[in-house]
Amino acid sequence: MSVIYLDNNATTCVAPEVYEAMSPYFTQYYGNPSSMHRFGGQVARGLRQSREAIAALIHAEANEIIFTSCGTEGDNAAIRAALDRQPDKRHIITTAVEHPAILKPLQRLEKQGYSVTYLGVDGKGQLKLEELRRAIRDDTALISVMAANNETGTIFPIERIGHLAKERGVLFHVDAVQAAGKIPLDVSSGVIDFLVLSGHKFHGPKGIGVLYVRRGVRFRPFLAGGHQERGRRGGTENVPGIIGLGTAAELTLKSFDEDHTRIAQLRDRLEQGILSQISDTQRNGHPGLRLPNTANIGFKYVEGEAILLSLDREGVCASSGSACTSGSLQPSHVLRAMGLPYTLLHGSIRFSLSRYTTAAEIEQVIALLPSMINRLRELSPFSRDNEATHPWLQEQSQRVGIA
């Protein structure tokens, strides 16, 4: 059975051009880029080109780019670096809808005595800048806000947040893992101090990421060791990964406008096909300020897990931020922060497209969903008629803290 892959916010396929560019670096150009000999020099040249390609993607300078092993490493390293250089400041501001790569290290820091403000979002998943402004304190060391949300695709106004941070002399870190390759990223105004990317989210390989550190920001290496990355990240470089990442960045820039328009049209068609044919559905997230590739749809009165399994049986890969993907029974912290009712919290599915998604695939999904959802709803104990009165639903809503 052929697969319709609509889970590109989880990971993307490696572009054929990326694979081709990486390939010789496993068997032919396998020298260590730090070596003095010609063989190493050849590899070092490849790394330099990739660094320049990544810098061009975000309008940075090549020496502001540090290669890491993944987005999670970059996020952890940025947080650590920001705090290490300001030991007297013990307050951090972030949002309630960040990825665990931010939330988990911050929770750990809270246990060590740091204070963290988690800004809430509205029903569309958007931040209130006034709340952020009010949250800044004299001892705020860092503001960490994602560029775009992985579950809903909602885009945060990072440039404006950066200006707020700069006015108050606070360091600003942006997790741009989901934004890279999907919306333009530009650090050249100088208001972003740290920015993180991950190769596997935009058709690069897994196991390679980027940490941008603005020139002039003091940075203590997260991984202390050799002199690689100009002493900012020890460890022999993942050369094929870096080459693949650079190629992925070049490809992104080459077809950015075309991809953006086409993917957004397909995403809109998918949403329209679902929302117009299936009752009690809604789009989760911001209607305008969002990634072009992400559709998060709430199907009331159906378990998301059941939808995912049924889709999987038809060869369609999608995901949900709740029990099904995380392995926990907790509903998505993002949808919860948006105040969604229980029946939507548990019945929301994320479809995420890529440059390789076709119109025929989208039509196939639109065609199979209505009968699938009807079938599942027939098995569900919940419906529009008993939503307000069902005792179990009331109890669960209270348990997860929603009205």
Q: How far is 173 from 191, CA to CA, in rounded Å?
A: 10
Of residues 44-63, which lie at the interface with ligand PLP (CB under 6 A)? Answer: none
Q: Please report, to the nearest 10 degrees, the dihedral formed by the alpha carbons of residues 216, 222, 223, 224 taken in order.
A: 60
177 vs 297, beta carbon nearer ligand PLP? 177
* 389 CB burial (10 A radius; 0-12, 13-18, 19+): exposed
How far is residue 130 from each of residues 121, 160, 215, 335, measured CA to CA in Å?
Answer: 12, 11, 29, 22
Should residue 72 be labelled a site residue for ligand PLP when binding is judged by CB under 6 A?
yes
Q: Residue 131: which of 178, 87, 93 has the closest Cα? A: 93
* 287 CB burial (10 A radius; 0-12, 13-18, 19+): exposed
Q: State the minimum distance, in angstroms, from the CB of residue 174 to ligand PLP.
A: 10
Residue range at the interface with ligand PLP (CB under 6 A); choices 70-78, 165-173, 212-220, 304-312: 70-78
* 71 CB burial (10 A radius; 0-12, 13-18, 19+): buried
- Which residue is listed with tokens 């709430």? 298
Should residue 319 be labelled a site residue for ligand PLP when binding is judged by CB under 6 A?
no
Q: How far is 320 from 307, CA to CA, in rounded Å?
A: 10
Of residues 99-138, which lie at the interface with ligand PLP (CB under 6 A)? Answer: 99, 101
Should residue 71 be labelled a site residue for ligand PLP when binding is judged by CB under 6 A?
yes
75 vs 237, beta carbon nearer ligand PLP? 75
Should residue 43 be labelled a site residue for ligand PLP when binding is judged by CB under 6 A?
no
**Residues binding ligand PLP: number (CB under 6 A):** 13
Half-sphere exposure in the Cβ direction for 266 (13 Å, CA): 24
> If you count them, how many residues does the chain have?
403
- Binding pattern for the stretch 256-295 against ligand PLP, x by CB under 6 A and - elsewhere: ----------------------------------------
Q: State the minimum distance, in angstroms, from the CB of residue 202 to ligand PLP.
A: 11
Looking at 12, 50, 95, 198, which residue binds ligand PLP (CB under 6 A)? 198
Q: Give the containing element (helix H, strand E) for 198.
A: strand 194-198
Q: In what order do the strands lie in the sheet with 194-198?
A: 65-68, 209-213, 194-198, 171-175, 140-146, 91-95, 115-119
Sequence-separated (6 or more) residues with CB below 8 Å from residue 50: 242, 243, 245, 246, 247, 249
233 vs 377, beta carbon nearer ligand PLP? 233
44 vs 289, beta carbon nearer ligand PLP? 289
Should residue 18 be labelled a site residue for ligand PLP when binding is judged by CB under 6 A?
no
Q: State the minimum distance, in angstroms, from the CB of residue 209 to ligand PLP.
A: 5
209 vs 241, beta carbon nearer ligand PLP? 209
Q: State the minimum distance, in angstroms, from the CB of residue 11 to ligand PLP.
A: 8
Should residue 21 be labelled a site residue for ligand PLP when binding is judged by CB under 6 A?
no
Q: Give the containing element (helix H, strand E) for 317.
A: strand 316-317
- Which residue is listed with tokens 């390759």? 181
117 vs 198, beta carbon nearer ligand PLP? 198
Residue range at the interface with ligand PLP (CB under 6 A); choices 64-72, 113-121, 155-163, 363-371: 64-72
Q: Residue 245: which of 21, 36, 7, 5 has the closest Cα? A: 21
Number of neighbouring beta carbons within 10 Å of residue 179: 26
- Say whether 317 is catalytic: no
Choosing from 13, 70, 317, 324, the catalytic residue is 324
211 vs 369, beta carbon nearer ligand PLP? 211
In one-letter notation, the amino acid at residue 338 is M
- Binding pattern for the stretch 155-194 against ligand PLP, x by CB under 6 A and - elsewhere: --------------------x-xx----------------
324 vs 373, beta carbon nearer ligand PLP? 324
- Binding pattern for the stretch 202-221 against ligand PLP, x by CB under 6 A and - elsewhere: -------x------------
Residues making contact with ligand PLP (CB under 6 A): 70-72, 75, 99, 101, 146, 150, 175, 177-178, 198, 209
What residues are labeled active site?
324
